[in-house]
Amino acid sequence: MRAGLGQALLSIAAGLAVAGTAIAGPAVSIVAPGANEILYGPTRIRVEADRDAARVEIHLDRLSSPICTWVEPPYECEFDAGTRLDSRILRAEAFDADGRRLGGDAIVTYSFVDPDTVVASTLTVPLVATSDGEAPPDLRDVEWDCLYGGEPCEVVGVGKLGDNVDGMARDGVMRRARNPMEERPPVSLEVLIDVSPSVWANRIDIEDALRRIINEAPAPVEISLSEFAGSYRRLVPFTSSKSKLRRGLRELSDRQPWTCVLGAVRRALSDLQARAGHKALFLISDTQETCEATGLYPPQGHQEESDLVDEELLKQPEEPEWWFATPVRARRKAITRTLELSRRVGIPIYVYRVGGVAGMSVNSMEAFEQMAEESGGRLLSAGDLSGLREGVGALIRDLESTWMLDVSLPDLAAAEHEAELSLNPRVPDPIGLRYPERWRGGNRESLMLTLLRLGDAEARGWSAAQLRDSRDRRVLNELLAAYREEPSAANRIEQMTAIYHVSAYLLLHGDEDDQRAALSTVEEIWEIDPILVRRLRPALRTFQSMNPPRKLRLKAERLAEPTPRTPRARPDRQG
């Protein structure tokens, strides 16, 4: 099993790292450097040729003139590969005495070039446009006034939700699709249901509402069904099958203790972020947080574990008469974390409020009202689930009026701070607009780490793939920790491939602390999967030629050997 995983990892890592390829001819072959090398500084070339060869040439990249020419063996020379760690093409050709070409060989070596720093970034913003009178205008061809944090931004693309591959919208009118070369991904809707004692989920009402979404949405919709109370449980992964959703509803739990609504929403938003296309969260809950909260005093023996909180919390007992001794309030830190994640992902949140206990966790209820408004979603109804069908009708109307805007942001978007986005189309008549107005900038790395820890299987693999380009040595520890706990073999491949990329990048481009962290990671990888260490040997050998500090060079030499030596223990000093 371990060998099979290692071989799969080897092939994937090779492809992702611009691995070398070789095309062998019968008359000449390049012996050194190998296709799996990284060329850096003075590099020796060695070629073997057929005895009929009267002249052998070696060409670099696309240059027509050879960098080395031989008329007899040994076919060896040296050239300067520079210090950029580019992928290089080496071509060897052999000719007979009459100048006829006998054959050739070519290799493409690894590339570990330091990528350009990306300062500007782009958001894909879901925008609902409505009008009291006639239908709102087609927004594809209008000009936009755009501000992000008070600085100018630019709307670089506009598409209508529901446009498909040939530009034909559901209304039968020919439209211009955002990208006519590919099919639009379906809308991803996460339905998150509170099954705590204060919420009674009527399965018939929920089933009727889900059926309406699938039947009436203007674009294909895939729905995921999850429940929460003290823990989070996915009942149905994303699907458009009504029968699967119906079976999932039959598995809903009854009256479970706790309401970890803030943690459940963070989990759902993290999972949704890994999905392509438009995404939305539909929450059915009283939104009264009782896990990440203060004011709860349960007696001993009535505490339960929760997988939705990450700090020591007071627990809610099962008996209602012991729920609280003082007014319960959600913890400010938990609310702040949930708001920040909501602003980072930009996913509309629809809250259908039902049930609840008077006076409990009022601040968490207010926080969800704020999230619904800021995200471009809605706060729907209150009371029981009899109005749920009409509640999802508001969601469907929003989908019918949703546009997807690609917005290019100013340089300040790279900073880790919140900013307000302002979008105004230049149209003659005013129209109503709803979209996520507050965004948290940055390189999204912290979000990827959240997905790596909390996401479902698909989200964990996706986030590991996104972290391949990280330049932060702290990410290595997170990736290793995730790898140790990961049950999915496919995700372990993605995580180890990310470790491979980040380690090699830090080794070849980082400072001394980065290089020390990368070598420590390589040393630990040896215990997990020695096949990957072999894949890192070109980077280790190149690192040695870069005149690193002696201790780091010796460690790299040891790790680059076919079987890395265990460091010898220092003898105890006596006296």
List CB contacts of 350: < 8 A, sequence separation 6 or more.
280, 281, 282, 283, 372, 377, 378, 380, 391, 394, 395
Residues 205 and 173 in one domain: no
Identify whether 143 is part of a domain. Answer: yes
The mean pLDDT of the chain is 77
End-to-end distance of the chain based on CA atoms, in angstroms?
51
The DSSP line for 107-145 is EE------PPPP---EEEEEEEEE-SSSPPPPGGG--EE
- The answer, yes or no, to whether residue 108 has pLDDT greater than 90, is no
Q: Domain containing 222 — which CATH number?
A: 3.40.50.410
Residue 278 belongs to domain spanning: 187-401
Per-residue pLDDT tens digits for 185-225: 788 999 999 988 877 656 788 888 888 888 888 888 999 99
Per-residue pLDDT tens digits for 480-506: 888 888 888 888 888 888 888 888 888
pTM for the predicted model, two decimal places:
0.61
Residues 93 and 150 in one domain: no
| Structural domain ending residue among the three candidates 401, 425, 454 | 401
| Structural domain ending residue among the three candidates 440, 468, 491 | 440
Per-residue pLDDT tens digits for 461-474: 877 887 877 778 88
When divided into structural domains, the chain yields a total of: 4
Gyration radius (Cα) of the chain, Å: 30
- Can you tell me whether residue 461 is helix, strand or coil? helix
Residues 368 and 418 in one domain: no
Residues 195 and 339 in one domain: yes
User: What amino acid occupies position 360?
Assistant: M
pLDDT value at position 573? 39
Distance between CA atoms of residues 282 and 191, nearest Å: 5
Give 208: exposed, middle or buried? Use CB within 10 Å, 0-12, 13-18, 19+.
middle
The mean per-residue pLDDT over the stretch 104-126 comes to 66
Q: Are 533 and 526 in contact (CB under 8 A)?
A: yes
Residues 365 and 274 in one domain: yes
- Taking the CB of residue 64, how many other CB atoms lie within 10 A of it? 5
Identify whether 14 is part of a domain. Answer: no
Identify whether 572 is part of a domain. Answer: no
Higher pLDDT, 172 or 445: 445
The DSSP line for 328-340 is -EE-HHHHHHHHH
- The answer, yes or no, to whether residue 247 has pLDDT greater than 60, is yes
Residues 388 and 477 in one domain: no
Residues 479 and 366 in one domain: no
**How many residues are present in the chain?**
575
CA angle 410, 414, 419 (to 5 degrees): 70
